[in-house]
Amino acid sequence: MNIIAIIPSRYASTRLPAKPLADICGKPMVQHVVEQAKRSVLITEVIVATDDERIAAAVRAFGGSVVMTPEEIQSGSDRIAFVAKEMHADIVVNIQGDEPLIDPLLIDQTIRALLDDPKAVVATAVKPTSSHQDVFNPNVVKVALDANGYALYFSRSPIPYVRDAHKDEEWFKGTVFYKHFGIYVYRAPFLQLYTTLPQTPLEIAEKLEQLRILEHGHTIKCVVTEYESHPVDTPEDLLKVIHLLQSR
């Protein structure tokens, strides 16, 4: 089975300009993501998809594979679909370009969730959290699951809403919240279908592309993982990742 990982990588970033090229312990961020993805035992090929020659040059410099994509492509899913269309893959893994510490075991765990479930067309990863900061941070996406581990809904707001909540920060203890990690594993034919589906009202309201899948009646399998995610969105996140790597 041909399982390819595609890392969408854009130069522009409001909060952290030139993010893919940010130096992390002597390597650009994109190189760390590629190296982590290559440690997966299930992935057969890793490709960076970018519309910026500066990123492409950096990837070539460390021996990585890169495909240039049209500048007018705006979303990461459309970017990976553009590349995957010519790759003859069975499974396509979308690994975010701002996850320099993504665990290869998390990648494989998410891939297996799709391989083991013929009903699902997409798999992703979630983790239980009781952190007040996670629950109320709109940059941390939450997800509600059904009894079989399929996503019911994704939101930037706390879900579920606890009706009998108390005013202190202890109110949510005993309630299971899941935070969502930005890794998606697609069956290749569905990825091409997905990019043809029109945007949906909930997707537009929440600014979450994965809601388009649910609103069109498809299923997303969620693997509950013990691994952690350390996405880099701000200069503060970058410093945190650098410190984590140095401590290792």
Output the pLDDT for position 75.
82
Distance CA 182, CA 141 (A): 9
Identify whether the C-beta of residue 194 lies closer than 8 Å to the C-beta of residue 186: yes
CA-closest candidate to residue 44, choices 77, 7, 92, 85 = 92
Label residue 36 by pLDDT band (50, 70, 90).
very high
Which of 102, 130, 153 finishes a domain?
102
User: Is 202 among the domain residues?
Assistant: yes
Distance CA 217, CA 169 (A): 36
212: tokens are 């388009």
Read off the pLDDT of residues 213-247 as tens digits, 9 standing for 90 and up: 999 999 999 999 999 989 998 899 999 999 999 98
Beta strand 122-129 with 23-24 is unpaired
Distance CA 113, CA 95 (A): 16
CA-closest candidate to residue 139, choices 16, 233, 30 = 233
User: Is 111 among the domain residues?
Assistant: no
More confident residue, 64 or 10: 64
User: Is 235 among the domain residues?
Assistant: no
Identify whether the C-beta of residue 77 lies closer than 8 Å to the C-beta of residue 94: yes
Q: Give me the chain's average pLDDT, please.
A: 92
36: tokens are 């982590």
Distance CA 12, CA 20 (A): 9
Output the pLDDT for position 163.
73
User: Is 245 among the domain residues?
Assistant: no
Which of 44, 67, 102 finishes a domain?
102
Output the pLDDT for position 12.
77
Read off the pLDDT of residues 111-160 as tens digits, 9 standing for 90 and up: 999 999 999 999 999 999 988 888 899 989 999 999 999 999 999 999 99
Answer yes or no: do 47 and 148 share one domain. Answer: no
Q: What is the CATH number of the domain that holds 138?
A: 3.90.550.10
Answer yes or no: do 90 and 52 share one domain. Answer: yes
Average pLDDT of span 40-48: 97
Answer yes or no: do 89 and 153 share one domain. Answer: no
Alpha helix segments (H runs only) across the chain: 29-38, 53-61, 76-84, 104-115, 132-136, 188-194, 201-206, 210-215, 235-247
Answer yes or no: do 145 and 221 share one domain. Answer: yes
User: Is 236 among the domain residues?
Assistant: no
> Which are the contacts of 177, defined by CB distance < 8 A and separation ≥ 6?
128, 129, 130, 134, 135, 142, 158, 159, 160
Answer yes or no: do 159 and 70 share one domain. Answer: no
User: Is 113 among the domain residues?
Assistant: no
Label residue 226 exposed, middle or buried (CB < 10 Å: 0-12, 13-18, 19+). exposed
Answer yes or no: do 214 and 137 share one domain. Answer: yes
Answer yes or no: do 134 and 74 share one domain. Answer: no
Q: DSSP assignment, residue 159?
A: S
Output the pLDDT for position 68.
94
Read off the pLDDT of residues 176-201 as tens digits, 9 standing for 90 and up: 899 999 999 999 999 999 999 999 99
pTM for this entry? 0.92
Q: What are the two backbone dihedrals, phi and then psi, of residue 178, each rounded to the nearest 5 degrees?
A: -120, 130
Counting the structural domains of the chain, the total is 2
Q: Which domain holds residue 215?
A: 118-181+190-228
Output the pLDDT for position 241.
94
Which of 102, 137, 168 finishes a domain?
102
Output the pLDDT for position 168.
54
Read off the pLDDT of residues 54-93 as tens digits, 9 standing for 90 and up: 999 999 999 999 999 998 887 888 899 999 998 889 999 9
